[in-house]
């Protein structure tokens, strides 16, 4: 694990500390890590969606039945869960 020291304005530190407490985190650092992880997962999901859309519209397009879509969603969710570890 890497330690990252960041200088932030006092107002932002108060906000982060308040949000950490309000959301049940043990520390501001725990809250910041969770926020960063959420951003990372959102970006990963957006990239996966973009890839899927390219494949859907591409030359080897597939017919997205409800069953195929459910399978794709389950596979994406498993991949996202695996990336949290």
Q: Angle 10-22/28-57 helices, nearest 10 degrees?
A: 80
- pLDDT in 10s for each residue of the chain, 85 residues: 889 999 999 999 999 999 999 999 999 999 999 999 999 999 988 888 888 787 777 766 667 788 888 888 888 888 887 766 5
- pLDDT for 52 equals 79
CA-only gyration radius of the chain, Å: 19
Angle at CA of residue 48, ends 84 and 73, nearest 5°: 80
Q: What is the pLDDT of residue 49?
A: 84
In eight-state DSSP terms, residue 70 is H
User: Which residues are CB-contacts of 26 (< 8 A; sequence separation ≥ 6)?
Assistant: 20
Give me the residue spans of the domains in the chain: 10-83
Q: CB atoms < 10 A from the CB of 31, how many?
A: 20
């Amino acid at each position: 694990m890497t330690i990252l020291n960041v200088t932030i304005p006092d107002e932002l530190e108060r906000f982060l500390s308040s949000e950490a407490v309000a959301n049940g985190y043990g520390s501001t650092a725990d809250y910041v890590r969770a926020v960063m992880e959420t951003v990372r997962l959102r970006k990963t999901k957006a990239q996966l969606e973009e890839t899927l859309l390219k494949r859907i519209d591409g030359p080897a397009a597939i017919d997205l039945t409800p069953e195929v879509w459910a399978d794709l969603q389950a596979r994406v969710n498993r991949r996202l869960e695996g990336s949290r570890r």
